[in-house]
Amino acid sequence: MLVASAALLLPLLPARTDASAAPAGRGLLQRDFDRAAAEYGVPRSVLLGVSYLQSRWDTHGGAPSVTGGYGPMHLTDAATALAEAPRPAPGAEVPHGTGDRRGDDSRGVPRTAPRLAPPGTSALPPRLRTLEQAARISRIAAGELRERPAANVRGGAALLADAQRALRRPATDDPADWYGAVARFSGSGDPATATAYADEVFAVIRSGVSRVTDSGVRVTLAADPDAVPRQADRASAAERTRGPRTAGTRKTECPRTVACEWIPAPYQEFGDGDYGNHDKADRPATLPVRYIVVHDTEGSWDTAVRLVQDPAYVSWQYTLRASDGHVAQHVPLKDVAWHAGNWYVNAGSVGLEHEGFLASPDAWYTEAMYRSSARLVRHLAKRYGVPLDRRHIIGHDNVPGPTTGSIRGMHTDPGPYWDWAHYFELLGKPFVPTAGPRADAVTIRPGYDGHRPVYTGCTTAGEPCAPHGSGAVRLHTAPDEDAPLIRDIGLRPDGTDSTTGVNDTGARASTGQQFAVAGRRGDWTAVWYLGQKAWFHNPRNRPTAVGARGVLLTPKPGAADIPVYGRAYPEADAYPAGVPVQSVSPLPYRIPAGQTYVAGDRVPGEYLYAPAFDTAGHRVVRGREQYYGIQFGHRIAFVKAADVRVVE
Q: Is the pLDDT of residue 356 over 50?
A: yes
Residue span(s) of the chain under CATH 1.10.530.10 come to: 28-77+129-240
The lowest-confidence range among 265-279, 354-368, 491-505 is 354-368
Q: Is the pLDDT of residue 459 over 80?
A: yes
Q: Which residues of 397-436 are buried (b: 16+ CB within 10 A; e: fewer)?
A: bbbbbbbbebbeebbbbbbbbbbbbbbbbbbebbbebeee
What pLDDT was estimated at residue 86?
Answer: 56
Average pLDDT over residues 437-443: 96
Longest dimension (CA), the chain: 79
Average pLDDT over residues 237-251: 56
Give the whole-angstrom CA distance, residue 357 versus residue 269. Answer: 32
165 backbone dihedrals φ, ψ, rounded to 5°:
-65, -45
Mean pLDDT, the chain, as a whole number? Answer: 89
The answer to whether 589 touches 492, Cβ cutoff 8 Å, is: no
Pairing of strands 209-212, 327-329: unpaired
Q: Which amino acid is at 251?
A: K
The lowest-confidence range among 82-86, 369-373, 460-464 is 82-86
Give the whole-angstrom CA distance, residue 535 versus residue 300. Answer: 38
What pLDDT was estimated at residue 500?
Answer: 97
Question: What secondary structure letter does DSSP report for 491?
Answer: T
The answer to whether 267 touches 275, Cβ cutoff 8 Å, is: yes
Give the whole-angstrom CA distance, residue 227 versus residue 230. Answer: 9
Residue span(s) of the chain under CATH 3.40.80.10 come to: 252-430
DSSP annotation string for 229-293: --HHHHHHHHHH--SPPPP--TT----TTS-EEE-PPP-EEEETTEEESEE---TTTSS---EEE
Neighbouring-strand partners of residue 276 = 268
Task: Sort 306 into a burial class: Cβ within 10 Å, 0-12 / 13-18 / 19+.
Answer: middle
Give the whole-angstrom CA distance, residue 562 versus residue 572. Answer: 20
Measured in residues, the chain has a length of: 648
User: pLDDT band at residue 349, thresholds of 50, 70 and 90?
Assistant: very high
Query: What angle do helix axes 191-207 and 231-240 make, rounded to 10 degrees?
Result: 140
Give the whole-angstrom CA distance, residue 156 versus residue 187. Answer: 12
Give the whole-angstrom CA distance, residue 297 versus residue 96. Answer: 9
Please, what CATH class does the domain formed by 28-77+129-240 belong to?
mainly alpha
User: pLDDT band at residue 19, thresholds of 50, 70 and 90?
Assistant: very low
Of the candidates 209, 201, 213, the residue with the CA atom closest to the CA atom of residue 58: 213
Q: Which amino acid is at 110?
A: P
What pLDDT was estimated at residue 101?
Answer: 65
The answer to whether 140 touches 134, Cβ cutoff 8 Å, is: yes
The answer to whether 167 touches 192, Cβ cutoff 8 Å, is: no
Q: Which amino acid is at 587?
A: L
How many C-beta atoms surround the C-beta of residue 364 within 10 A? Answer: 25
Tens-place pLDDT, residues 535-594: 999 999 999 999 999 999 999 999 999 999 999 999 999 999 999 999 999 999 999 999
Task: Sort 8 into a burial class: Cβ within 10 Å, 0-12 / 13-18 / 19+.
Answer: exposed
Which long-range contacts (C-beta less than 8 Å, at least 24 apart) are formed by 115-118? 116/303, 116/306, 116/307, 118/82, 118/299, 118/300, 118/303
Give the whole-angstrom CA distance, residue 208 versus residue 220. Answer: 8
The answer to whether 88 touches 244, Cβ cutoff 8 Å, is: no
Give the whole-angstrom CA distance, residue 380 versus residue 374. Answer: 10
Q: Which amino acid is at 604?
A: P
Q: What 3-state class would DSSP assign to 220?
A: strand
Q: Which amino acid is at 480?
A: D
564 backbone dihedrals φ, ψ, rounded to 5°:
-125, 145
* Helix segments in 386-428, DSSP class H: 420-426
Higher pLDDT: 88 or 178? It is: 178
- For residue 233, is it left (φ>0), alpha (ψ between -120 and 50) or beta? alpha
Q: Using alpha carbons, list the distances in angstroms from residue 569 to 99, 239, 587, 597.
A: 21, 53, 13, 21
What pLDDT was estimated at residue 634?
Answer: 98
Give the whole-angstrom CA distance, residue 346 versus residue 339. Answer: 7
CATH topology of domain 252-430: Lysozyme-like (3.40.80)
Whether cis (ω within 30° of 0) applies to the bond prior to 88 is no
Tens-place pLDDT, residues 321-344: 998 999 999 999 999 999 999 999
What pLDDT was estimated at residue 97?
Answer: 39
Q: Using alpha carbons, list the distances in angstroms from residue 374 to 13, 185, 419.
A: 10, 22, 12
